[in-house]
Amino acid sequence: MQVAKPAGHQHLKLTDLKAKTSYVDNKTIVGKWKNLKRLPANTKISDTLSKDLKKRGMSFVGSTIIYAFMQAVGIVNDHTVNCFQHPQKDQIHSK
């Protein structure tokens, strides 16, 4: 699925964005959040990825949108620690 045709006629695919997990050492970032009020809307990683996409000519790719995308595709797991979807402690990579 092609999502954009940035300046310079480069093609960017969703699979290319998934490959950007190199920003997180190809591991899912698992939060240790105790309640939803502490969940971030963006991170340094989503800031960096957002800037990268903007340099490629894309728009509507702010840091918060990119962070939501990272959650949707599994780069980030922000389930609270009391949620049944939160992985076991031995699988936790970082906050």
Query: 10-32: per-residue pLDDT in tens?
Result: 566 655 655 555 667 778 888 88
pTM comes to: 0.69
At 85 the pLDDT is 83
Low-confidence ranges of the chain (pLDDT < 50): 1-3, 6, 9, 90, 92-95
The pairing of beta strand 76-77 with beta strand 29-30: parallel
* Look-up of token digits 């990683």: 45
Give the CATH number of the domain where residue 33 resides: 1.10.340.30
DSSP per-residue codes, 41-92? S--HHHHHHHHHHHHTT--S--HHHHHHHHHHTTSEE---TTSTTSPPGGG-
Domain holding 87, by residue range, is 2-91
Domain tally, the chain:
1
CB of 4 within 8 A of CB of 12?
Answer: yes
